């Protein structure tokens, strides 16, 4: 696996069980350093969350994960399971902790927004990956928007699973946090240190746009409004 591919998957799905990805994780040098930084970041989020999952959650996952496997558990798989439980705890944290949607967006971006922008590749992700991640939240993106996407991954939102993406524009990258189950009463701007942000209402849900200027975000808004739609196939 190329290092650029490894870093992209590490940011999009750090808990991936793809065999080639796991082998790359165990390599020395830049692979090991990137994996260490990603794991440290996830542990930091988990420590900040400080929320315990339901008592039955671990047993439920264990029963599902090992229904058709032996009881011997490789160390890498055990670590992945621990981090997966941490991700579920973070989901619970996001649903309970924040007093407002604005507070969630500010905290979300401050935790991993700039890190994700740095990880974003210089070439578009595959259309298949975009379709799969958008479908996971019951949505779809049109081709004009997909061409702007340089990175995307699932992320927790106060109202369930969402999508964190980085889009390329002529004036630099823009982070979009798509929240398919969130309804807002009024579109408005947010105050982030060193960044500009705007919360927009969509046909399905809402999205937070975060970039370097209000003009940049205003120019991108039509693409977001038109480019993200309900997946009618999944809605049937």
Condensed to tens digits (0 to 9), the pLDDT of residues 160-188 reads 899 999 999 988 999 999 999 999 989 99
What domains are there in the chain, each with its CATH number?
3-97 (no CATH), 101-235 (3.40.1000)
Please give the pLDDT value at position 156: 87
Percent of the chain surpassing pLDDT 70 = 67
Cβ(197)–Cβ(208) under 8 Å?
yes
Q: Are 200 and 206 in contact (CB under 8 A)?
A: yes
User: Tell me, what's the pLDDT at 107?
Assistant: 87
Q: What is the pLDDT of residues 12-36, one digit of tens each?
A: 666 676 778 878 877 778 888 888 7
- Phi, psi (rounded to 5 degrees) for 16: -60, 140
State how far Cα 92 lies from the chain centre: 15
Q: Which two tokens stand for residue 79?
A: 């670590």
More reliable by pLDDT, 4 or 58: 4
Judged against a pLDDT cut of 50, whether residue 236 lies above it is answered with no
Over residues 93-109, the pLDDT tens digits come to 444 467 889 999 998 89
The pLDDT score that the predictor gives to residue 146 is: 92
**What letters, b where the CB count within 10 A reaches 16 and e where it falls short, cover 114-148?**
eebbebbeeeebeeebbeebbeebbbbbeeebbbb
Give 111's pLDDT tier (boundaries 50, 70, 90): confident
**Confidence (pLDDT) at 31:** 84
pLDDT at 234: 59
Quick check: 127 pLDDT over 70? yes
Model confidence at 76: pLDDT above 60: no
């Amino acid at each position: 696996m190329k290092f650029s591919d490894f870093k992209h998957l590490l940011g999009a799905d750090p808990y991936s069980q793809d065999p080639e990805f796991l082998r790359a994780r165990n390599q020395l040098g830049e692979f090991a350093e990137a994996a260490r930084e990603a794991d440290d970041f996830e542990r930091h989020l988990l420590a900040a969350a400080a929320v315990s999952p339901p008592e039955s959650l671990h047993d439920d996952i264990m029963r599902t994960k090992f229904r058709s496997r032996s009881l011997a558990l490789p160390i890498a798989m055990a670590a992945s399971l621990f981090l997966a439980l941490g991700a579920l705890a973070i989901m619970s944290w996001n649903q309970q902790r924040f007093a407002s949607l604005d507070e969630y967006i500010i905290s979300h971006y401050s935790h991993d927004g700039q890190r994700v922008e740095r990880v974003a590749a210089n070439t578009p992700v595959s259309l298949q990956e975009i379709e799969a991640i958008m479908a996971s939240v019951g949505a779809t993106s049109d081709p004009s928007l997909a061409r702007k996407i340089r990175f995307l991954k699932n992320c927790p939102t106060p109202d369930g699973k969402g999508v964190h993406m980085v889009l390329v524009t002529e004036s630099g990258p823009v982070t979009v946090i798509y929240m398919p189950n969130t309804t807002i009463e009024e579109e408005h701007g947010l105050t982030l240190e060193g960044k500009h942000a705007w919360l927009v209402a969509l046909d399905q849900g809402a999205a937070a746009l975060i970039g370097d200027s209000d003009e940049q975000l205003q120019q991108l808004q039509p693409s977001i409004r038109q480019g993200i739609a309900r997946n009618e196939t999944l809605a049937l």
